[in-house]
């Protein structure tokens, strides 16, 4: 993992105007991955979309940490089922064309 993809956690807090404890809580719940290098905490650039999503849900919709964890699990299931459905639909179309 190259360093240019890692964003210091405190920089995220400044940009999004959030508390570092919120990022720590997300890390503890394994909703985002926090990388520690030389005692500094970083967030991978690829996780910014997820982080922004949790910020919106927590700060705008008042969903607490337990709710975020539950939502994360359910969204994974929904996405999985949507992918499976898309796969089955394309398979069905293939059979219908035959």
Partner 1 sequence: MAFIDYYKVLGLDKNASDADIKKAYRKLARQYHPDLNPNDASANKTFQQVNEANEVLSDPDKRKKYDQYGEHWKDAEAYERAKQSQGQQAYGGGFGNEYQYAGNEGFSGSFNEEGFSDFFESMFGKGGGRSSTTSRKYKGHDYDAELHLSLRNAYTTHQQTLTVNGKNIRITIPAGVENGQKIRLKGYGGEGVNGGPKGDLYITFVIEEDPVFKRHGNDLYTTHDLDLYTAVLGGEVMIDTFDGKVKLKVKPGTQNGTKVRLKGKGFPVYKKEGTSGDLIVSYHVLVPVDLTEEQKELFRQLAKTTVQNK
For residue 36, the minimal CB distance to partner 1 (Å) is 27
Spatial separation of the C-alpha atoms in residues 23 and 13, rounded to whole Å: 8
Give the residues across from 6 on adjacent strands: 44
Note whether 26 and 18 are within 8 A (CB): no
Tell me the three state secondary structure of residue 18: coil
Reference 32, options 46, 18, 19; nearest CA is 46
Reference 44, options 90, 88, 85, 7; nearest CA is 7
Among residues 66, 90, 95, 98, the one that binds partner 1 under rule CB under 8 A: 90
Task: Fill in the per-residue mask, 6 to 45: x = in contact with partner 1 (CB under 8 A), - = not in contact.
Answer: ----------------------------------------
For partner 1, the closer of residues 15 and 79 by Cβ is: 79
Q: Which stretch binds partner 1 (CB under 8 A): 6-14, 18-26, 27-35, 79-87?
A: 79-87
- Footprint of partner 1 (CB under 8 A): 49, 52-53, 56-57, 60-63, 71, 75, 78-79, 82-83, 86-87, 90
């Amino acid at each position: 993992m190259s360093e240019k993809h890692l964003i210091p956690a405190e920089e995220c807090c400044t940009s999004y105007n959030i508390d570092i404890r919120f990022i720590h809580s997300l890390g503890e719940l394994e909703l985002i991955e926090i990388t520690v290098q030389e005692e500094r905490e970083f967030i991978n650039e690829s996780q910014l979309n997820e982080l922004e999503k949790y910020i919106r849900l927590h700060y705008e919709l008042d969903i607490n940490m337990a709710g975020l964890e539950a939502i994360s699990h359910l969204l994974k299931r929904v996405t999985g089922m949507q992918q499976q459905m898309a796969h089955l639909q394309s398979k069905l179309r293939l059979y219908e064309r035959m």
